[in-house]
Amino acid sequence: MIIKFKKIRLQLQLIVGTLVVMIIAALGFVHYHSVKDSLFKEYRNKQLYTVLVASQSHFQSILEKAFESSELLADDPTLCAWFEEGEVNDEYKDLVLERLDLLKKDYEYQTVFAVNSKTKNYWRDNYTLLDVVSEYDPDDSWFFQAIDKKVKTSINYDHNRELQSTVLFINVLMGNPDNALGVAGVGIDPSVLISQFHAHKPSKNSRIWLIDNKGIVIMSTKVSEINNPLSRHVPINVVNKILSHDTEGVVSDKKINNKKVELAYMPIGDTSYRLLILVPDEDLFPVLNIVRNQTLIFSLIFLFITLVVVKFLAQGITRPLSRFIVLSEKIAGGDLTLKTDVELLDRADEIGRLALAFDTMKIRLVKAIDKLKQANYDLKAEKIHLKLANRDLNRALVKASESEKLTQSFLANISHEIRTPMNSIMGFSQLLEIAELDSFEHKKYAALVVKGGQQLLSILDSIINLSKIESGMVKPHWQKVNIHQLLKDTFDLYEVLAVQAGLNMYIETNDIKNDAVMDTDAVLFQHVLNNLVSNAIKYTEKGTVVLGCKRNNDQVTYYVSDTGVGIPEDEQEKIFEAFWQVENNHSINSGGAGLGLAIVKKITSILGGNIRLSSVPQKGSTFSVDLPVYYAGYNRN
């Protein structure tokens, strides 16, 4: 909606005021984000990494000590000898159990344990035989996985919800991994991470998680999150990014619960565990709120000052304009004897130039009226030109009539193609409204409705693609494309469809090297191959479909052969026309609008190539596409 003002002064105030607001807003936006970027780049990573290092440093030392203790315990000669003899030596038993108990007390581990692979006995501190491990007990799967996978050192964890505690177990194979005597190790409490985090966290809304290599939460400030996927709280793509990196990193400007947050992560030593913290942006740098508020206040102040200044400036412009309005109205009434005010003509600014131009216009207007009389006589000569123009117009009408016929033909064809799936959709949709139908009939009619919708969508998509190509909107993006990869991508896409149709499908490369490339638009040419292979499968009831290529000097010929219905020779010239379809075999329903090959031919022409057809009815068809290897307009350097 355009607002019309009766006074220029109001227009100037609005325009200039709006311009000033836009400039101030832009400057404020740039200032705000420059401050934000500066703060984030300068301090964000350092601050987040500092919190991470502070939170995991003590836990890292405990973990490293646990690895060292577990390895020493696994290599203990007395323990190895006792397990190797089948735990029959009581003297070894006393020494081993005493060693387990002392190791726990000396280093304040949660537990110290050893499991015999022969007896399956699970020994731990306090001289206790805790259990006999079993392959049928899911809680004992860690032991059998370590033995079967021959992993020398591994970590597993156990969380007890009743006790609300989590223990990380460091497991080390005893003896030769190919014939391990058992598993020995220690259990540590990772909750030190939480206490260290609370001591160093940057804000009250900060969060911390310890996760494994599958994204499962091992330790958290909320007990309810333990043993659950981190993706419940953090977007899955962010979790995957964190799991794919073996080093520390920061993920910025991610929205969680409609709030922007910063996420920093760091691996725990050489383990597969990662420490992750989350800090809301608004908590990380609260000074940004002050910058935003100050920018808004200054914008309002400058806007008020601007409106006042514009008001006084506008008055110096609108007063002379009011005088020009009076003069113009009198001249429009036929009074050409009026003179322009001297004070306006004496001005040296734009108003003075306007007054001079106005006075000159008045003089020339008088002369123009005299010339109009002469112009009436000249109109006769224009009649001759009009006759010539009418002749050209008749020619244009003939062309327009031809264009109208083409349009009517197009509408007749497309209305016929669209009406078929639409009738299917409407008919079966009405049948679905019948309450007496059983579930099988509902599914059957619903499937037919979906099929009709897919046919309609395919027809519309083909029409849109053809319209884009004919209007010149489709431009190729030249790039180097691997020839074998083009064939393989198409083969992978349609192999399952060919198998479902009971057809054999294979690729022929005719000794073209695996690293052979050509200059083309991969997306457009993939569309060509997709159409040709899809048609080959659609019109072939049994036999084979071959997708291949061969090279001849600076040209590559791609071909798609089938053993299908074939195309009569007298119709082969029409095959690439829009809305043309095979009519010689009614046992195959194409389900399309007959636009596919028309689009293929146009895309091939855009890519600088041509398409050929060789077909014998009831024996099959071969479509060949010749493309240049190098495109002259593409800079290969």
Kindly state the tokens that stand for 249. 């990193």
Question: Mapping DSSP to helix (H, G, I), strand (E, B) and coil, where does residue 623 land?
Answer: strand
- CATH code at position 515: 3.30.565.10
Query: d(Cα 78, Cα 182) in Å, to the nearest integer?
Result: 13
Report CA Rg, the chain: 42
153 and 189 fall within a common domain: yes
Summarised one tens digit per residue, pLDDT across range 179-211 is: 899 999 998 888 777 776 666 666 677 778 788
Identify the residue whose tokens are 């993939």.
Answer: 526
Same domain, 305 and 382: no
**Residue 348 belongs to a domain:** no
Q: Are residues 27 and 82 in the same domain?
A: yes
- For residues 469 and 527, membership in a common domain is answered with no
- Residue 615 CB partners (closer than 8 Å, separation 6+): 566, 567, 569, 572, 621, 622
Q: Could you tell me if 504 and 530 lie in one domain?
A: yes
pLDDT digits (tens, 9 = 90+) for 234-259: 888 888 888 888 777 777 777 777 77
Q: Are residues 23 and 53 in the same domain?
A: yes
Phi and psi at residue 512, to the nearest 5°: -75, 130
Grouping H, G, I as helix, E, B as strand and the rest as coil, residue 567 is coil
Q: In this structure, is residue 337 part of a structural domain? A: no
Whether 418 and 490 share a structural domain: no
Residues 444 and 478 in one domain: no
User: Do the domain assignments include residue 201?
Assistant: yes
Are 39 and 310 within 8 A, CB to CB?
Answer: no
- Tell me: do 511 and 526 sit in the same domain: yes
pLDDT given for residue 120 in this prediction: 92
Residues 133, 9, single domain; the answer is yes
Give the Å distances, CA to CA, from 52 to 168, 424, 637. Answer: 19, 62, 46
pTM for the full model? 0.38
517 and 592 fall within a common domain: yes
Q: Answer yes or no: is 340 within a domain.
A: no
Range of the domain at 595: 474-628
Q: What is the pLDDT of residues 128-186, one digit of tens each?
A: 888 899 888 888 888 898 888 888 888 887 776 655 677 888 899 998 888 899 999 99
Say what angle helices 596-606 and 439-470 make with each other, to 10 degrees: 30
Q: Look at residues 46, 39, 42 and name the one whose alpha carbon lies nearest to residue 290.
A: 39
Beta-carbon count within 10 A of 632 CB: 7
Write the DSSP symbol of residue 126.
Answer: T
* 303-349 pLDDT tens trace: 677 767 766 666 666 666 666 677 677 677 766 666 667 766 777 76
Which of 321, 351, 379 finishes a domain? 321
Domain boundary (413, 439, 473) is at 473
The answer to whether residues 428 and 447 touch, using CB atoms and an 8 Å cutoff, is no
Q: What does residue 201 show for φ and ψ, rounded to 5 degrees?
A: -65, 140
Query: Which CATH number do you get for residue 444?
Result: 1.10.287.130
Q: Is residue 579 part of a domain?
A: yes
pLDDT of residue 270: 66
Whether 339 contacts 315, CB under 8 Å: no
> Rounded to an integer, what distance in angstroms lies between the CA atom of residue 285 and that of residue 283?
6
Exposure of 49 by Cβ count < 10 A (0-12 exposed, 13-18 middle, 19+ buried)? middle
DSSP state string for 496-512: HHHHHTTEEEEEE-TT-
Within-domain flag for 605: yes
Q: Please check whether residue 6 lies inside any domain of the structure.
A: yes
How many domains does the chain contain in total?
Answer: 3
79 plus 92 within the same structural domain:
yes
| Beta pairing, strands 517-520 & 543-552 | unpaired
Here the CATH number for the domain that contains residue 281 is 3.30.450.20
Domain end among 291, 306, 321? 321
